[in-house]
Amino acid sequence: MALHMIKLVVGLDTIEDLVAWRAAEAGPWVMHTRQTPKRAAELLDGGSLYRVFKGVIMCRQRILAVDTVGEGVTARCEVTVDPQIVRVAPTPRRAFQGWRYLEAKDAPPDLAGGVDGDIPSDLARQLREAGAW
């Protein structure tokens, strides 16, 4: 069973903002973090990076590679993810620092339609908060 990673998105409010921000970048989509996961092999076995926007898990991207760059105090981790964004059922998540592991049993289910789905991120969040979804 796959192990996933979860990380807060800071400075962006919606999935659309994430896509627009990324459009300015070239090359592979890499998420930088200080700590290299000790369970990297499990993440690479079908794991995804789940993203939290304003306290709600909204999307995921499949993890393609986990690499440690540098040595000693300058070492950092680069997690390469698939550029395809998959929307998931909006799920509340409390704030945390850095990243956390997310067991497959705790991961929200995918929604049909991917990033171009029929429902805007803000509306999905409002429906979830109202208990209607």
- 22-60 confidence digits (pLDDT tens): 888 888 999 999 888 999 999 999 999 999 998 999 999
Neighbouring residues of 116: CB distance < 8 A, sequence distance ≥ 6: none
| pLDDT number for residue 111 | 86
Domain range annotation of the chain: 3-129
- 89-109 confidence digits (pLDDT tens): 889 999 888 899 999 999 999
Model confidence at 125, in pLDDT bands (50, 70, 90)? Answer: low
Find the mean pLDDT for residues 4-22.
Answer: 92
Residue 122 has pLDDT above 90, yes or no: no
CA neighbor of 34 nearest in space, from 63, 4, 74: 74
Rounded CA-CA distance 71/85 in Å is 31
Prediction pTM value = 0.82
CA neighbor of 30 nearest in space, from 68, 3, 1, 56: 68
Question: Can you name the residues that pair with 87 across neighbouring β-strands?
Answer: 59
Q: How many residues does the chain have?
A: 133
